[in-house]
Amino acid sequence: MTSSAAGGRPWLSVVVPTGTGPPPAATLGALARFAADRPFEIETLVVGGAAEAARGAPRPAGLVSLPAGHGGRGSAVRRAALAARGRWLLVLEPGLPVPADEYDRLATAARDLDLDVVVGLRPPGARPRASRTLGALVRALLGLPYRDVLSGFVLLDRARVEPLVRRMVVDGSAGAAELLFLAHRYRLRVAEVAVTARADAEPARPLADEAPRILADALRVRWRFRRGLYHPPAAVDKTPGSVHGG
């Protein structure tokens, strides 16, 4: 039996930033299987590259293609979050280094612990040393208690985080840290949950190549906060209901 959020909206919005080209057929196929295996309605928002360009690939139900725009990953996720209609928002990484099925771990934690933001925490060896070092620097700059502040696999209570998303400004990969920083500062309920990842999930120098921009963006976030440039309104009251679509 398929369930959806109030008003016939999808229960879960899945966001996939893909860069400038179409998503690989394997990505669309995995998302189609993920959606088919869930007993609730899902919409899939592909940001960057026309989804229909992946010829011959299975298409997830509720597929929406959004233009990439001129920003980076942070800008893409922000645009998709504001276009999404689901009760919950699942943000994935290009190429699905963490399988979409790991959603179930995050959803269980969100339900059991009444969380607003659940971050997928990869095994220690799943990121190259350069990326781990970069993440540690960003964590120190922003004073965050989380272990992976640059994680791209996140489950969000859309209504609760929307006031924050509307004030976010970081366009690149540090957008993940900006969201966690604001969620922490404005007392949303956040936790990290261990997830599995492919052994070849990340190239040797993924985030490290963006290090100067990421560190500059982290300093920008701290500067903006100290000057009161975020100041979101009080978060929206949480709508009762199970993150599993019940």
Under the banding of pLDDT at 50, 70 and 90, the label for residue 210 is confident
Which residues pair with residue 90 across a beta bridge?
14, 155
Under the banding of pLDDT at 50, 70 and 90, the label for residue 163 is very high
**Share of residues in the chain with pLDDT > 70 (%):** 81
Under the banding of pLDDT at 50, 70 and 90, the label for residue 6 is very low
pLDDT digits (tens, 9 = 90+) for 166-183: 999 999 889 999 999 999
| C-beta pairs of 180-187 under 8 Å, 24+ apart in sequence | 180/117, 180/119, 180/142, 180/144, 180/146, 180/149, 181/142, 181/144, 181/221, 181/222, 181/225, 182/225, 182/230, 182/232, 183/116, 183/117, 184/144, 184/145, 184/146, 185/225, 185/230, 186/232, 186/235
More confident residue, 104 or 73: 104
Under the banding of pLDDT at 50, 70 and 90, the label for residue 235 is low
pLDDT digits (tens, 9 = 90+) for 93-137: 888 889 999 999 999 999 999 999 999 999 877 777 888 899 999
pLDDT for 3 equals 43
| Helix then strand then coil, % of the chain, to nearest 5 | 40, 15, 45
pLDDT over 90 at 213, yes or no: yes
pLDDT over 50 at 1, yes or no: no
CATH 3.90.550.10 fits 7-226, yes or no: yes
pLDDT digits (tens, 9 = 90+) for 9-51: 899 999 988 765 667 778 888 999 999 999 999 999 988 765 5
Q: Where are the domains of the chain?
A: 7-226
